[in-house]
Amino acid sequence: MSDPIRLLLADDQALVRGALAALLSLEDDLDVVAQLSSGEAIVETIREHQVDVALLDIEMPGRDGIDALRAIRDAGIACKCLVVTTFGRPGYLRRALDAGAMGFVVKDTPADQLAEAVRAVHAGRRVIDPSLAEESLVSGNNPLTEREQDVLRAALDGHSVKELASRLSLSPGTVRNHLSSAIGKTHTGNRTEAALKARENGWL
């Protein structure tokens, strides 16, 4: 019999993480060797525990799942990544795949299907929740530039244009231009609505 697939779970919710670990550990060919509450130490932990497949949540404090995916990809590690998230937003799916994820499923996926997704990703196959894939095709690409995303993320905290400009090292005029463009692209009435809609679509 071949060695079990070595798994890492990264999720900031301890109960969810524990439940996933318990379910996956019931499978003879899967072994949960590491757990994290954020993506901060992801690269070091994967190397230390020789992880084969990392299961990552998207929304975590500090380094989130998308940043963790990029860190793993940029480190050139052979570990495969499967996003397991509550937030089945089409924009998240696209960003996760762009950052190097091999799979994307939601947390209410049945345990046997999740185990199969892990095996498929480990074998080099792509696994995507069918309803999310369809929704992603309908919603289209993220229309926002990186700078517009930066400005909207900062706008979520309720800062003034002057504060946003200082925070992002931009002129107030440039910030206003980015905000205006983002509002137009999201078909909203103001920067708060634009930021909220972009976050709901998984574009931030």
3-state helix, strand, coil in the chain (%, to 5): 50, 15, 35
Q: Are 177 and 83 in a shared domain?
A: no
Give the tens place of pLDDT for each residue, 93-127: 878 888 999 999 988 888 899 999 999 999 999 99
Phi–psi pair at 108, nearest 5 degrees: -90, 15
Give the residue carrying structure tokens 């793993």.
Answer: 72
pLDDT in the model for residue 108: 84
Q: Are 14 and 94 in a shared domain?
A: yes
Give the residue carrying structure tokens 């899967």.
Answer: 30
Q: Are 28 and 113 in a shared domain?
A: yes
Q: Are 101 and 34 in a shared domain?
A: yes
195 closest CA partner among 175, 179, 176: 179
Give the tens place of pLDDT for each residue, 19-45: 999 999 999 999 999 999 998 899 999
Which structure tokens are listed for 42?
């992801």
Q: Are 60 and 126 in a shared domain?
A: yes
What mean pLDDT comes out for the span 54-66?
Answer: 90
186 closest CA partner among 175, 174, 198, 204: 198
Residue 51 contacts residue 6 (beta carbons within 8 Å): yes
How wide is the angle at C-alpha 99 spanned by C-alphas 20 and 29, nearest 5°?
A: 35
pLDDT in the model for residue 143: 83
What mean pLDDT comes out for the span 80-103?
Answer: 84
Higher pLDDT, 187 or 122: 122
Give the residue carrying structure tokens 């994290």.
Answer: 36
Q: Are 74 and 98 in a shared domain?
A: yes
pLDDT in the model for residue 185: 85
Q: Is the pTM of this model over 0.75?
A: no
Find the domain containing 155 and state its range: 146-200
C-alpha to C-alpha distance for 53 and 51, rounded to whole angstroms:
6
Give the tens place of pLDDT for each residue, 153-185: 888 887 888 888 888 889 988 999 899 898 888
